[in-house]
Structures are given as structure tokens and as C-alpha cells.
Amino acid sequence: MQLSLIASISLVCNFVEALDVKVVDLSYELGPETLFFPGNPPFVSTILHRGNTGAHWYEINKFETAEHGGTHIDAPSHFAEGKLRLHEIPMEKLIGPGVIIDVKDKVAGNSDYKVSIGDIMAWELKHKKVPECAIVIMNSGWGANYPNKTLTFGTTTPEDQSTFHYPGWHKEAVDWLIKTRRVCVVGVDTPSTDPGDSTSFPVHQTLGAANVPGLENVANLDSVPESGSIIYVAPIKLKDGSGAPVRMFATFPKSDIRTRYNQEL
């Protein structure tokens, strides 16, 4: 009894509390509700054993999933021949300063909105130059729709890709981020880095050609500051994968020194 009490207390007293750092989980759960593009099989989990063996409790399951579902990474090889597959992406390229580009106002009047160079300039005016190896993510407000299939794909016929509507990146903006700001990852809170009405996927092609991974269906962006976080992206190390579900999260100081100082006065 005493030992299990100590164990549960040590779970509450976590290390990040002591660091005065906030952690925001940027991934949705991977499960039967996970959304995939048409043509992908659904996620399936199977219980292999859940019960008492006679000696002890034992749980073990298996799951089957397509690579590109829910909160996931696109490896550069997804849309570009000869580029990095999932296991080849260096971890150093999957950790970087978070740059959250809020385009909710623009998306409110146009669900096919494409994030522009002007939107990045506006972010830079407000904050600073986009740092090298940034993880730049569009916050269009679309995350509020997940996991509702109709709302997430912006159509009443989610089995028909030609009817999709949701915001994404403009190819020129992504090209600019890669060439002039040397960003490490580009992401969205929608199902695709290209907007829903795209047929040729120029953003996917641009990212792939530059060996820059993409992130799709990123969660909880309203809980992350536009500037000042570090984002960590941790996909499983799937050999030759073109993508995979990811656990990703942001960390940032709970309060800056001045705020803390003022509170103490």
C-alpha cells in the first residue's frame, strides 16, 4: 500500500513543473476515430490478450494503420522521388523553434485560403525574423472541426476528394520559407499542407524536393504562443516510411521573468 502511494505521488510531481515549463500536446489520439484520406483503410486495433493469466494481469494488442492519418508527418519521399524516407530524417531536423501563423480572420471568409508570404511578413513584424530550423505551422482555427469528417474535409461527400475545402499553404510562401529562412518543418491544422481544392499538390512537391517534412492535423495550436516555443516532432522510426502518425508537443516558459516579477510585487 505504502509503495503504491509513493508511486502515484511521484507521477504528480513531474520534472517539467520544477522547470517552470508548460508542455502542450499537439497530437490527436490515434484510434478508430482517426481521419484518413479516401483510399486508405481505417485504423484497426485488436486485443490479443486482456485479462488475468493466473499469475498476473496481462494486456497486449496489435494495431493496423495507414501511414497518413490523424496528426502525422509527411516524409519528403511522399511526393518527391529519391528524397528522405521516414527513418532517414535526422532527429535534429524535427526539433525547432515554433512559429505559429494565425490566419483565422482570413479563413473565416474563405475556406480555400492559402497562407501567403504577406502572412509570414506580418508575423515577423509582430515578433522577429523566423529563426533558422523553425517549425512553422498554420493555425487556421480548423482544428475545432476534428475529428468530424464532414467539417474537417469541408464537404458532405468526404469519400470524394474533388469536393474538399479547407485552408493550406501557398506554394510561394513555402518556397520562400525554405529558401530565405531555412525552416525545418512546415505544418497545418488541416488534413493537408496543400489546400483542399488543390489537384496538383504543389506544396507537397515543393517540400519534398527540398527534403523538408510536412505535418498535418496538428492539434491544440491555440494553447501555444505564436512565438517563443520549442516544438518536438517524434514519429516512430518506420523503415522506408513515406509518413507516420506522430506524437508532437510544444514547450515554452510558463511565464516570462517580468510577469513573474510583477506578480511577486
**Site residues for ligand NAG per CB under 6 A:** 148, 150-151
Give whichever of 36 and 232 is closer to ligand NAG, judged by the CB atom: 36
Spatial separation of the C-alpha atoms in residues 147 and 126, rounded to whole Å? 32
Give whichever of 91 and 144 is closer to ligand NAG, judged by the CB atom: 144
Residues 6+ apart with CB under 8 A from 144: none
- Number of neighbouring beta carbons within 10 Å of residue 249: 19
Give whichever of 33 and 124 is closer to ligand NAG, judged by the CB atom: 33
Give whichever of 70 and 98 is closer to ligand NAG, judged by the CB atom: 70
Q: State in angstroms the smallest separation of the CB of 179 from ligand NAG.
A: 39
Q: State in angstroms the smallest separation of the CB of 32 from ligand NAG.
A: 13
Q: State in angstroms the smallest separation of the CB of 243 from ligand NAG.
A: 26
Spatial separation of the C-alpha atoms in residues 260 and 214, rounded to whole Å? 36
Residue for cell digits 508542455? 23
Q: State in angstroms the smallest separation of the CB of 152 from ligand NAG.
A: 9
How far from 17 is each of 13, 98, 235, 251, 254, CA to CA, in Å? 7, 21, 25, 12, 9
Give whichever of 146 and 232 is closer to ligand NAG, judged by the CB atom: 146
DSSP 39-82: TSPPPEEEEEEEEE-SSSEEEEEEEE--SSBSSEEE-GGGSSTT
Q: State in angstroms the smallest separation of the CB of 159 from ligand NAG.
A: 15
Q: State in angstroms the smallest separation of the CB of 194 from ligand NAG.
A: 23
* Bond into 147 cis (ω within 30): yes
Give whichever of 187 and 196 is closer to ligand NAG, judged by the CB atom: 196
Q: State in angstroms the smallest separation of the CB of 248 from ligand NAG.
A: 25
| R_g of the chain, CA atoms, integer Å | 20
Spatial separation of the C-alpha atoms in residues 170 and 133, rounded to whole Å? 20
User: What residues are paired with 83 via a beta bridge?
Assistant: none
Pairing status of strand 214-216 against strand 185-187: parallel
Spatial separation of the C-alpha atoms in residues 261 and 265, rounded to whole Å? 7
Give whichever of 140 and 227 is closer to ligand NAG, judged by the CB atom: 140
Spatial separation of the C-alpha atoms in residues 33 and 182, rounded to whole Å? 35
Which residue number places its CB atom closest to ligand NAG? 148
